[in-house]
Amino acid sequence: MSKESDLLDLIDMSNFAKPENALKRAEELINVGQKQDALQTLHGLFTSRRHRAWQKPLERSMFKYIELCVDLRRGRFAKDGLIQYRIICQQVNVSSLEEVIKHFMHLSTERAEQARSQAQALEEALDVEDLEADKRPEDLMLSYVSGEKGKDRSDRELVTPWFKFLWETYRTVLEILRNNSKLEALYAMTAHRAFQFCKQYKRTTEFRRLCEIIRNHLANLNKYRDQRDRPDLSAPESLQLYLDTRFEQLKVATELELWQEAFRSVEDIHGLMFMVKKTPKASLMVVYYAKLTEIFWISASHLYHAYAWFRLFLLQKSFNKNLSQKDLQLIASSVVLAALSVMPYDRIHSGSHSDLENEKERNLKMANLIGFNLESKLESREVLSRSSLLSELVAKGVMSCVIQEVKDLYHLLEHDFFPLDLASKVQPLLTKIAKFGGKLSSASSVPEVQLSQYVPALEKLTTLRLLQQVSQVYQAMMIESLSRMIPFFDFSVVERISVDAVKNKFLAAKVDHMKGIVTFDNTGLESEILRDHLTILAQTLNKARAMIYPPSRNASKLGELLPSLAETVDKEHKRVLARKSIIEKRKEEEERKLLEKERLEESKRIELQKITEEAERKRLAFEFEERKNERIRREIEERDLAEAQALLQEASQRIKWKGKKTGIEGEKLTKQSVMELTLTEQLRERQEMEKKLQKLAKTMDYLERAKREEAAPLVEAAYQQRLVEERALHEHEQQQEIELSKQRHDKEVKEKERLARIKNNKEIFQERVVSRRQDEFTRLRREREEQIAQILMSRRQEREKMRKMKFYLSLEEERQKKLREEEEAQKREEAERQRKEQAERQAKLDEIAEKQRQRERELEEKERLRREALLGRPTEGPLKPSQPPTSPRPLDTGSAAVPAPAAAAAAAAPSSGKFVPRFRRGSESSGQAPPPESDRWGSRQDDRMTQAGDRWRSDDRRSSGGSSFGGGGGSRSTWSSSRIPTRGSER
């Protein structure tokens, strides 16, 4: 059965060349439940490389093929088919490919959801026989053996395979669409659906792989910039799709709490913008900074977290027109509290150069990500710090937007000096601040703001400030007193905080647990701290003196200015507001003009780049064509020179120059000059040969005429003697044959009379034997016919089977052969294109050479015909001038042996000895010697006459061994007389 199924697969893949036939065959197989065979049939249709044009039946076949792949979970088959279909539809009908891919993803998602719902229904179903029993025994045994619950097993058996197939579907689609500029939207949609898949089912591993796949796609896109269908990132639509994909990746990474992947997504966004040198829209930047705040807070990078909040506040305040006062207070309070949560000292790193450089590079990188600066000069950027951030908060007016508790907390921690009761003043403020927070009504992209998250960091900062102020006032303090002053932590926590501060040189303190005291070391009292104390003391004394002795003039002036001060403040406030609105409008107008200008410059740059590339391409093509033509001309000249030299060498071998030099040795050697010289020399040789042949023919004509005149009487005498001898021999042999015939006749008559007596018995025996054999023959023939019928039937079945097998094998061989031919055709195309020009030039040269050879053959044929006309026989070649003809020896009339033709000619000649032509010899000889009379034994008589004539000729030749007609002279004379016409016959 396996061999039959394999054979059916071969038939399906080879026979159904048309899409509609393959689709019909697949539907028939599906109806009988053979989906695997149907999938093989359609797979052979798409991988046969016969269809390179889009058509509607092919699209229907592709939809059916995708459905079968999803039903059977064959991801590899689906990928192969989609790749082949992409090749077909890439330049013709991209929308068809888009519909097929959407259908593929829809089916995969639907089947995965069905499997999940089926697993849930299976888990929730009541499938126990005994309602009082909790579990069946087999379920208990299976749970103990496998160590997993029923839901886990159902998920592994039903849900996991479909989820694997769905994940493979997303990967396949992304791989197919990664470099297709016409399907960028579909690529982005697939990436979004893959992100949602990972988010919905908490697939963290697959999410990391997905991010890496998309990252590699973008890297390859920038690496191979010369691809034909490569997406253009400089186009606004393409850039927006890629940005949306990265921001979706960032959102899902934060929701899955994959903070490392989220930070890499932030780097991807910044790198993408760095490539195109453009800043995203404000709505996207809000999401960008909102996610940065979460990432930096999780990583305990409070300084970068505060800067991200500050950039987020500026964006919301500038671009969000629907921002309410309450939301603005919450965001501003978060910014201030985030800045206050930063430790007031910098971390001290090791003194190695590599660590310092790494820290510097890290700070610059973070400043680049937070500030979103797309410039490449890193040295010009300002290093981030807590003091500069607080200064910017005050300068940008953030303090005016925060709630009162945050403002009071800022002044207590940064400006006021209360070493003994600082914690008691801060604690109620922190309690109130922890109650503020919630979701923002007008800023949907910003996560929920909760100020309570900063309370632990602020408590730590309060502890540090208290220790700092105490160290400036006291040299030693009891541990119990210090613990009461800090209600937030136990002394063990305070000790750890103080140790970290001492390590980073923020404090100078020692803890003595044996004595129960904390010792502070005021090493900086002589310099900065002393100067601050004196300044504060001077300011306080000045205020006290002003209060004790108030100046009168100042009071009177102040009283005069108080009525108009409120009006002046209102006017200034309105003027400032108006100026602010004007400045905002001007800034918006300038930004719009700047964007428009950048867009125009970008379009001009792209157009100029296209024109430059087109000109460069034309120039390179022209130079390549010139080099190609020059190379072809040079090759033609070299080939012509080589052919001319070869022709000259061949001509020198065939033609004897007779010691003369060629006339083109000093000139430029060309094929035409060599051919002209060769033709001239051949014509001269032919003329010389014709003159020699004419002279030879004349000499041979005279010799042949003389020989015939001398041989005529001898031939006639020999002929008459032979006639007499053959007549006597014929009569004797005829008489003997008559007597033998009579004897045979008498003997046969007697034999007939003897056999006539048994004729009746013979007929009876013959009838009996014939009848018996007829019956046996009839029986054997009937059995033979039955046997033959069976053999024919079996052979017919065997032939039918073998015919089908050969037909199927021939179809498969033909398909394999076509596949090989198509693969070889691609290899031959390049060689064919290179040989094409050479073949055309070679054809012209061959045509010229063929005409030359044809002309030479015609001249040789004419020469041969002329020689045959002169010599009267076919000639193998011209006679060489160095070989003169052999002259015959003189005739001896007394003892010459005359050949048979010569004897016949002599018999036909008259007795006077004159020459008689051939046409007269027959008539005269026929009148003198009539042929003998023939009878029924004429053939035997002719044979005996022939034998007698042969004996006569042999005796005649023996008797004439010493004559002049023997040997070569006689044979040559006979040949010449029969082949060469004489002057008398010509006349």
Query: Which DSSP state fits 258?
Result: -
Mean pLDDT of all residues belonging to the chain = 75
Tens of pLDDT, residue by residue over 655-708, are 655 445 555 554 456 777 777 888 888 888 888 888 889 889 888 988 888 888
Same domain, 490 and 442: no
Last residue of a domain, one of 525, 546, 567: 546
Structure confidence at residue 29 (pLDDT): 80
**Is it the case that residue 299 has pLDDT exceeding 90?**
no
Residues in the chain: 987
Ranges 92-96, 298-302, 327-331, 874-878: which has the least confidence: 874-878
DSSP 778-833: HHHHHHHHHHHHHHHHHHHHHHHHHHHHHHHHHHHHHHHHHHHHHHHHHHHHHHHH
- The total domain count for the chain is 2
Same domain, 293 and 364: yes
Structure confidence at residue 769 (pLDDT): 93
How many Å apart are CA 460 and CA 501, to the nearest integer? Answer: 11
For 523, the 3-state DSSP assignment is coil
Ranges 260-269, 458-467, 957-966: which has the least confidence: 957-966
By the 8 A CB rule, do 287 and 251 touch? yes
Same domain, 319 and 437: yes
Q: Which two tokens stand for residue 342?
A: 């930063």
Last residue of a domain, one of 509, 529, 546: 546
Structure confidence at residue 669 (pLDDT): 66
By the 8 A CB rule, do 79 and 172 touch? yes
Q: What totals of helices (H) and strands (E) does the chain contain, helices first?
A: 32, 5
Which position has the higher pLDDT, 192 or 883? 192
pLDDT band (50, 70, 90) for residue 226: low
Which of 35-49, 276-290, 413-427: highest mean pLDDT?
413-427
For 49, the 3-state DSSP assignment is coil
Angle subtended by helix axes 2-15 and 759-871, to nearest 10: 40
pLDDT band (50, 70, 90) for residue 44: low
Same domain, 432 and 356: yes
How many Å apart are CA 882 and CA 887, to the nearest integer? Answer: 15
Mean pLDDT in residue range 131-140: 50
How many Å apart are CA 884 and CA 887, to the nearest integer? Answer: 9
Give, in degrees to the nearest 5, the angle at Cα 170 between 166 and 174.
Answer: 165
Question: Dihedral, CA atoms, 375, 378, 379, 383, nearest 10 degrees?
Answer: 110
pLDDT above 90 coverage of the chain, percent: 9
Same domain, 497 and 536: yes
pLDDT band (50, 70, 90) for residue 401: confident
Tens of pLDDT, residue by residue over 610-623, are 888 888 888 888 88
By the 8 A CB rule, do 28 and 56 touch? no
Structure confidence at residue 656 (pLDDT): 56
How many Å apart are CA 50 and CA 52, to the nearest integer? Answer: 6
Same domain, 313 and 396: yes
Domain span at 531? 474-546
Which position has the higher pLDDT, 875 or 462? 462
**Is it the case that residue 955 has pLDDT exceeding 50?**
no
Ranges 231-235, 442-446, 735-739: which has the least confidence: 442-446
Q: Encode 374-420 in three state secondary structure.
A: CCCCCCCCCCCCHHHHHHHHHHCCCCCCCCHHHHHHHHHHHCCCCCC
Structure confidence at residue 856 (pLDDT): 92
How many Å apart are CA 899 and CA 965, to the nearest integer? Answer: 9
Q: Which two tokens stand for residue 241?
A: 């799709």
How many Å apart are CA 462 and CA 861, to the nearest integer? Answer: 126
Same domain, 507 and 398: no
How many Å apart are CA 115 and CA 163, to the nearest integer? Answer: 9
> Is the sign of the CA dihedral 391, 394, 397, 403 positive or negative?
positive
Structure confidence at residue 48 (pLDDT): 61
Which position has the higher pLDDT, 647 or 719? 719
Tens of pLDDT, residue by residue over 260-281, are 898 888 888 888 887 777 778 8
Same domain, 438 and 337: yes
Give, in degrees to the nearest 5, the angle at Cα 620 between 618 and 623.
Answer: 110
Domain-located, residue 537? yes
By the 8 A CB rule, do 337 and 458 touch? yes
Kindly give the pairing relationship between strand 476-478 and strand 509-512: unpaired
Closest CA relative to residue 267, chosen from 338, 211, 220: 211
Same domain, 443 and 481: no
Ranges 35-49, 334-348, 742-756: which has the least confidence: 35-49
Identity of the residue numbered 215: R
Structure confidence at residue 562 (pLDDT): 60
Structure confidence at residue 904 (pLDDT): 40
Tens of pLDDT, residue by residue over 519-577, are 987 644 444 555 566 777 888 888 888 888 876 554 445 555 566 677 788 888 888 88
Domain-located, residue 413? yes
Cα 947 to Cα 390, 550, 653, 726, 804: the distances in Å are: 148, 183, 56, 10, 69
By the 8 A CB rule, do 422 and 446 touch? no
Which position has the higher pLDDT, 520 or 50? 520
Mean pLDDT in residue range 247-272: 88
Domain-located, residue 409? yes
By the 8 A CB rule, do 51 and 58 touch? yes
Structure confidence at residue 314 (pLDDT): 86
**Is it the case that residue 406 has pLDDT exceeding 50?**
yes
For 509, the 3-state DSSP assignment is strand
Structure confidence at residue 789 (pLDDT): 94
Query: What radius of gyration, in Å, describes the C-alpha atoms of the chain?
Result: 61
Helix (H) or strand (E) segment spanning residue 75: helix 75-89
Same domain, 445 and 305: yes
510 forms beta bridges with: 519
Which of 119-133, 217-231, 506-520, 790-804: highest mean pLDDT?
790-804
Cα 466 to Cα 385, 404, 592: the distances in Å are: 22, 22, 51
| CATH number of 513's domain | 1.10.10
| Residue 447 backbone class (left: φ over 0; alpha: ψ -120 to 50; beta: rest) | beta
Which position has the higher pLDDT, 279 or 908? 279
519 forms beta bridges with: 476, 510
Same domain, 302 and 429: yes
For 724, the 3-state DSSP assignment is helix
How many Å apart are CA 761 and CA 754, to the nearest integer? Answer: 14
| CATH number of 448's domain | 1.25.40
Domain-located, residue 540? yes
Angle subtended by helix axes 671-755 and 900-908, to nearest 10: 80
**Is it the case that residue 878 has pLDDT exceeding 80?**
no
What letters, b where the CB count within 10 A reaches 16 and e where it falls short, cover 16-47?
A: bebbeebbebbeebbeeebeebbbbbbbbbbe
Structure confidence at residue 181 (pLDDT): 79
Same domain, 395 and 517: no
Domain-located, residue 46? no
How many Å apart are CA 705 and CA 684, to the nearest integer? Answer: 33
Last residue of a domain, one of 421, 453, 485: 453
Residue with tokens 């013709």: 92
By the 8 A CB rule, do 896 and 709 touch? no
Structure confidence at residue 778 (pLDDT): 93
Mean pLDDT in residue range 365-370: 79
How many Å apart are CA 65 and CA 38, to the nearest integer? Answer: 8
pLDDT band (50, 70, 90) for residue 793: very high
pLDDT band (50, 70, 90) for residue 184: confident
How many Å apart are CA 148 and CA 158, to the nearest integer? Answer: 15
Structure confidence at residue 117 (pLDDT): 76
Angle subtended by helix axes 56-72 and 75-89, to nearest 10: 160
**Is it the case that residue 962 has pLDDT exceeding 50?**
no
pTM: 0.51
Domain-located, residue 402? yes
Identity of the residue numbered 482: L
Angle subtended by helix axes 184-200 and 204-223, to nearest 10: 160
Give φ, ψ of 465 to 5 degrees. -65, -40
Domain-located, residue 243? no
Domain-located, residue 908? no
By the 8 A CB rule, do 944 and 730 touch? yes
